[in-house]
Structure 1
Amino acid sequence: MKTSIIKEKARTYNLSDYSDFKSLYRDFWKKLYAICYSKTSNKEASEDMVQDIFISLWNRRNKLVITSSIEHYLIKSAKLKVIDYYRIQSSAKENNLLECNLCEHPEFDKEFLQQNEALYQFLEQDVELIVSDLPCQCQKVYRLSREEQMSTTEIADNLNISPKTVKNHLTKALGLIRKNIPSFYAITLLHHLL
């Protein structure tokens, strides 16, 4: 029988040891709950998701191989639970629409209803992390363009820089976002926007 021992910074968790497992739960449940709740605004569903994550971890403790940190693994598990939550919600919406004969309208087609709102929210979160790491002026230009819907000329006037400099900053920001966002996020974003 295999024993999963996971080192996390200064802490080591032996998943087969019940007291270590309880410590792992105490150390991470709040963070996982916060992730689930921030994306669903549903207290019971978030509690259920966290419980499911730890039950699954306990049930697979002797065969589980975690190559990243346990925190990274648990956060990824929480994100996947949120995605499942929205998949189930989309399915329920689709069933309700089928019952009401609304699916014949193009805006209610199956593909649209199955858009994964959770992935879109994670995409927004990841883009925000990238944008917040941009140099100050580049970040200002990006935010004025994307969040304030200002034109290149308006941004140039507002920041007292040339329109060419504005375009250079936008090119840099968008290039970094494209480079750092996985392609499945980009596909989800395109579907969400169409």
Structure 2
Amino acid sequence: MITEDSEFLKGVKEDDNSSFKAIYEKYSRDLFVYAYNIIKEKTVCEDIIQEVFISLWAKRKTTTITSLKPYLFQAVKFQIFNHFRNNKFSREDLTRLNIIDVSMNVSQKLEYSELDQIIRDHVAKLPKRCRHIFVLSRYHHKSNKEIADELEISVQAVKNQISKALAFLRNNLQLEEVAFISLILLQ
């Protein structure tokens, strides 16, 4: 089955401006809201979203994207990290953001991989339904409404399960682990 996003991506690779515009119109607002929930500065967030779409267009011939929405959210995460890396921020900000540098050296990448595995191990300990909802939210970047519709439950039930998962993870991860996890605990 060919998805709308894959058709848009095909068009972008073929220099179709209308496909690019369709992707922008479909995702820019959600990406902006996501960035704004972290940074809280409108102009910075607008710049980040603009940079993500400029990069998407510039790399259209050389980048293979299998899933557009996760790709775009990951690109925003990277730009957010760059923003904070290039500006001074406190340990409290780091803990609140739960961010890592995706352009780190090999030893840091190994450390991140270990931390990521610790988090995934803790996520695996969540009750099945809670884990499923958390994974849809944090790893597949689905909105609470999308999850509720998909699982045929209320939005409030989704929120409750995500809160339960976050509380479990916060209570079971060491402070230094929490300080470096990659945006999955971000509310």
Superposition TM-score, scaled by structure 2 size: 0.50
For CA contacts below 8 A with separation 6 or more, give which structure has more relative contact order.
Answer: 2
Superposition TM-score, scaled by structure 1 size: 0.48
